[in-house]
Amino acid sequence: MGLLTPVFKNKGSNKNATNYRGITIMPILLKLIESVAKAKVQPKILKEQNRLQRGFTVNSAPMNCSFFIEEFIRECRDAGKIIYIALLDAKSAFDVVTHESILRKLYIAGVEGLLWKLIHSLHMDSSSVVKFNGLISEPFSICQGVKQGGILSADLYKLYINNLLTDIEHSGLGAKIGSICCAAPTCADDVALMSDNPEELQVLINMAYNYSRRERYKLQPVKSVILPVYPNRRKTARTFLSMEYR
């Protein structure tokens, strides 16, 4: 059983529940179990992890994502091309992970036997209570999501989103530096899609949208935006455009 504490995001009204992020504190024994499981699971996940994913990765950093974007902008500026960058925002990404899907992806990645059964038990038999203003709620079952603050959570989410990045890379569409694909630099649940061709970018957006429907999470059109970057530096700063799915 976890102890979930709502933490205000410092934006919007503090009377709106959607402006809070739930951070789950787990029992010490469970953290020890997850630490042991992570040592065995992480190498298998890193073996499968797409190279465009830079979040929560050893010997890497989110700054690597900005490096992809910066280099592609420099290359397109030299060629006098306009760049289109779509910044996708997934709604409550960690909270809506489907347990059945992530367990299937773990098995495909080579996590099986007793280790797979352990992770299955940690998710299928979990519950939580909410602590707020000194009060604690009645316990309730956790039927989806990975715990924000959990030791395994970041690795599991990277595996959950991994197939999308692989599909984009294999499509051959979007941004390239030379022959190297950099169409979707990603940090955990933050995905940026890049192309110098608006039609190709729309195809990538459609791929991301279809993947979200298949895996049962939502992209937020209001918070997801497209940023055009022009060869003329004075025109780079533009108002974000609303993104529509077609």
Report if residue 221 sits inside a domain: yes
Q: Which of 107-111, 134-138, 235-239 has the lowest mean pLDDT?
A: 235-239
Q: How far is CA 244 from CA 110, 115, 189, 194, 215, in A?
A: 37, 42, 20, 16, 20
Whether 194 maps to a domain, the answer reads yes
Single pTM value for the model: 0.87
- pLDDT tens for each residue of 90-132: 988 898 999 999 999 999 999 999 999 999 999 888 899 999 8
Can you tell me whether residue 7 is helix, strand or coil?
A: strand
Question: Would you say residue 111 lies in a domain?
Answer: yes
What's the pLDDT band for 204 if we cut at 50, 70, 90? very high
Domain range spanning residue 120?
2-229
Q: Is residue 235 part of a domain?
A: no
pLDDT band at 70 (very low <50, low <70, confident <90, very high): very high
Mean of the pLDDT values across residues 12-35?
A: 90
Q: Is residue 245 part of a domain?
A: no
How many alpha carbons fall within 13 Å on the CB side of residue 134?
0
Question: Is the model's pLDDT at 235 over the cut of 60?
Answer: no
85 domain residue, yes or no: yes
Note whether residue 236 is domain-resident: no
Which residue matches tokens 């499968």?
48
Asked if residue 61 is part of any domain, the answer here is yes
Which is more confident, 61 or 101? Answer: 101
Q: With cut-offs at 50, 70 and 90, classify the pLDDT of residue 37.
A: very high
Do residues 109 and 44 touch, judged by C-beta distance below 8 A? yes
Is residue 139's pLDDT more than 60? yes
- Counting the structural domains of the chain, the total is 1
> Which residue type does 138 have?
E
pLDDT of res. 233 = 63
